[in-house]
Every structure is written in structure tokens, then in C-alpha cells.
């Protein structure tokens, strides 16, 4: 048993289910040490009389689609509870006003596995992904039974069609990836020899934005560097950019087909397993994994992932798609980040707020070289 494993003393299932608790403990004992979960979720096999914000109410009969049933789900959600409908290779989680749809394998022990992954601190939508990647008996095959075979993972349903062809490839090892606020910074850092850069210009008038993008792209060509444009995908296409970086919400609004046809590389942000699967659906050029550490450069939708999760993500996706670690990464922690096996790390303040940006960039690049030795 791990030191953080305290399932038996908790109200883990409703109604109480000794066999499920025993199975959850057995699985949890093979998943390694994780910080204590911030929410003691209770998995309800029947609807409790008093629903609370830590309840996940499970239905295994998806035929219940009456208007009354849907109204009941809506009421539970307003009380902070979540609802999982699962049957016939499909699981739908309703939580926080969001509907998470997955298609994949439902093992006999999937509910016990769900409880175990929740205890590892994963949010319900990511814990559900892992539960569908679980196979009965996995806990008997290895001291570390964490799912790491991408072919076993479910797929996200209900997504827009992906472009007919995958996005253009970019280097598997992008190295130091400098995320910069202006074209002037892109020009400076490109001159330091950094080969992967991103212009993240959040506010600018249309004409000024065009000039900033054009300058950034020109700097990339001059210094043989890969320059990505954050968010402004249409302007990036018009200017002939090497690549574009988008957030999860942008895949529903950006014209990904136009980006693909233009040969523009695509990077997508992710903050956990569910978003990784969403990103993989669109076959991007790379996936960003974060935020690894707390960051002040933007408001993050999730808590910091940490190095242990990053290592799991890299093990799952290495060789599948290029990966970029992002979020709060400084020169002090970069060696620990690289020790997870990730081949690229995005930095912001580590360069732009350094007393000597050129020396800071050189030191960051040196860390990558040392990692290869």
C-alpha cells in the first residue's frame, strides 16, 4: 500500500460496496505515490437522497433519456454533483456544465479503477479516461500498472471532423521554445540562436498585428528558426507563418482545414488526459503539456500538473507526437523537466525577465545539450 492510500476509511461508494472498495484498493496500490486528492469524491451507484458536490452518480443504463431524467441530471449538476452514464463501450460525464464524451472499453473493474485514479488527484474527466484505459487484472502484471499504451485509450466523441491530412510535421525535439510578447523580442531571441519561438501578442490593432507577425516570420527565416503565432491563425496563414499555436477552445472556432491545406504547423495546448485525446484527434504537429508549475503569465484552467504527471504523459505520447512542456519553467527546474524525457520546454519569463537575456538563453540551451550527453 502507498502512504497516501486511505480508501477503506472513506465514504468511497454509495451504497457501501466492500468488493468495489477492495478492488479499488488493489488497483490503487499499483499506481504509485501521489499527493492526497483535493476532493474526496464519492461514487454513487444509485442516486443518494442528499446529493453533494463530491458525488459522481453512475448510471449503467443509457436508455434513460427521458425529459424527466435529463432534468434530474441538471438538478444534480446545479448542486455540484457529476453524473456518469456508461454502457456498451461509451461513457458520458456531465460535470460543471460540461459534457465529456468517451468511447472505448469498459472493463469489469472500471468503476474501481475510476475510484483509484480519483484518489491519485485526477479530475473526474481525466480519471474517467484512465478508467477506460484500464484492463481487468492490470494490477497483477506489474508493480507500476499505470496505463501507458495509447492503443488502449478511449477516443473523445462528438468532436468536429479533423482535416483530411495530418498537419505538417515539425522537429521531434524542438528544444528551448521561447514564448515572446513582441516581434522585437522574437528578433532578439532568434539572434541568440534559439530555434523555436512563438509570438504571443494578445492585444494589438489589426494593422499593428500584421506588422508584428510579418517581422516575427522574417526573423525566423533570417535565423533559420521555427516561428509559431499564438491564436491569430488567419493572419498567420496570410503571412505564410511556419506554425500556429492554439488553445483547446480554438479547435471549435478556427478553420483547421484551412490551416492544414496551407501547410501551417499546428501546436495545441493540453491540461490533462482528456484534452490530450482531443488534441490527438486533430493530428497536430505538436502537443503542449502544462502547466507544469504555477505561472503568472496567464490564468490557467487547471492546477499545476507537476513533474510526476508530466513523466506519465511523456511515457504515453513519446513517439506518437512531439511534446512541449510549458508553464512556470525556469533555468533552475529545467533539468528536472528534461529528466521526464520531454524534448522541448517552453519558457517565457526565464528569458524576458532575465538580467541578461542572451546569457539566459545560452544557459537554457546548454541544459538541453547536457541532457543529451
Annotated binding site: 198-202, 230-231, 250, 269, 295-298, 328
Q: How far is CA 32 from CA 119, 288, 309, in A?
A: 11, 25, 11
- Biggest CA pair distance of the chain: 67
* Gap between the Cα atoms of 249 and 252, Å rounded: 6
Is the distance from CB of 20 to CB of 115 less than 8 angstroms? yes
* Gap between the Cα atoms of 154 and 91, Å rounded: 10
* Gap between the Cα atoms of 197 and 212, Å rounded: 14
C-alpha cell at 357: 537575456
Q: Which residue has the cell 498567420?
A: 236
* Gap between the Cα atoms of 156 and 129, Å rounded: 9
> Annotated binding site for Mg(2+), which residues?
231, 250
* Gap between the Cα atoms of 23 and 29, Å rounded: 10
Question: From the CA atom positions of the chain, what is the Rg in Å?
Answer: 22
Amino acid at each position: 500500500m502507498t502512504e497516501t492510500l486511505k480508501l477503506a476509511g472513506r465514504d468511497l461508494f454509495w451504497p457501501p460496496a466492500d468488493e468495489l472498495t477492495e478492488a479499488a484498493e488493489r488497483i490503487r496500490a499499483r499506481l504509485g505515490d501521489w499527493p492526497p486528492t483535493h476532493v474526496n469524491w464519492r461514487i454513487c451507484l444509485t442516486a443518494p437522497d442528499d446529493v453533494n458536490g463530491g458525488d459522481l452518480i453512475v448510471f449503467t443504463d443509457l436508455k434513460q433519456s427521458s425529459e424527466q431524467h435529463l432534468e434530474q441530471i441538471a438538478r444534480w449538476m446545479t448542486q455540484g454533483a457529476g453524473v456518469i452514464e456508461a454502457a456498451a463501450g461509451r461513457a458520458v460525464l456531465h460535470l460543471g456544465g460540461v459534457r465529456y464524451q468517451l468511447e472505448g472499453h469498459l472493463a469489469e473493474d472500471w468503476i474501481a479503477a475510476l475510484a483509484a485514479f480519483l484518489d491519485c488527484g485526477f479530475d473526474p474527466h481525466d480519471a474517467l479516461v484512465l478508467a477506460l484505459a484500464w484492463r481487468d487484472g492490470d494490477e497483477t502484471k506489474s508493480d507500476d500498472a499505470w496505463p501507458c499504451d495509447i492503443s488502449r485509450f478511449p477516443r473523445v466523441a462528438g468532436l468536429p471532423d479533423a482535416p483530411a491530412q495530418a498537419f505538417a510535421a515539425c522537429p521531434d525535439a524542438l528544444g528551448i521554445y521561447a514564448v515572446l510578447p513582441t516581434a522585437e523580442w522574437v528578433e532578439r531571441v532568434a539572434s541568440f540562436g534559439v530555434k523555436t519561438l512563438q509570438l504571443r501578442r494578445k492585444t494589438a490593432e489589426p494593422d499593428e498585428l500584421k506588422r508584428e507577425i510579418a517581422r516575427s516570420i522574417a526573423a525566423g527565416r533570417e535565423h533559420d528558426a521555427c516561428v509559431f503565432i499564438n491564436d491569430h491563425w488567419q493572419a498567420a496563414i496570410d503571412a505564410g507563418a511556419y506554425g500556429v499555436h492554439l488553445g483547446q477552445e480554438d479547435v471549435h472556432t478556427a478553420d483547421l482545414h484551412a490551416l492544414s491545406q496551407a501547410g501551417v504547423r499546428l501546436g495545441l495546448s493540453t491540461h490533462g488526459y482528456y484534452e490530450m485525446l482531443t488534441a490527438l484527434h486533430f493530428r497536430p504537429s505538436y502537443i503542449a503539456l502544462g502547466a507544469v508549475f504555477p505561472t503568472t503569465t496567464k490564468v490557467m484552467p487547471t492546477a499545476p500538473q507537476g513533474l510526476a504527471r508530466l513523466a506519465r504523459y511523456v511515457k504515453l505520447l513519446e513517439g506518437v507526437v512531439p511534446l512541449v512542456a510549458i508553464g512556470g519553467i525556469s533555468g533552475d527546474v529545467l533539468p528536472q523537466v528534461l529528466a521526464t524525457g520531454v524534448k522541448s520546454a517552453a519558457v517565457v519569463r526565464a528569458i524576458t525577465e532575465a538580467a541578461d537575456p542572451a546569457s539566459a538563453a545560452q544557459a537554457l540551451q546548454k541544459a538541453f545539450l547536457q541532457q543529451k550527453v
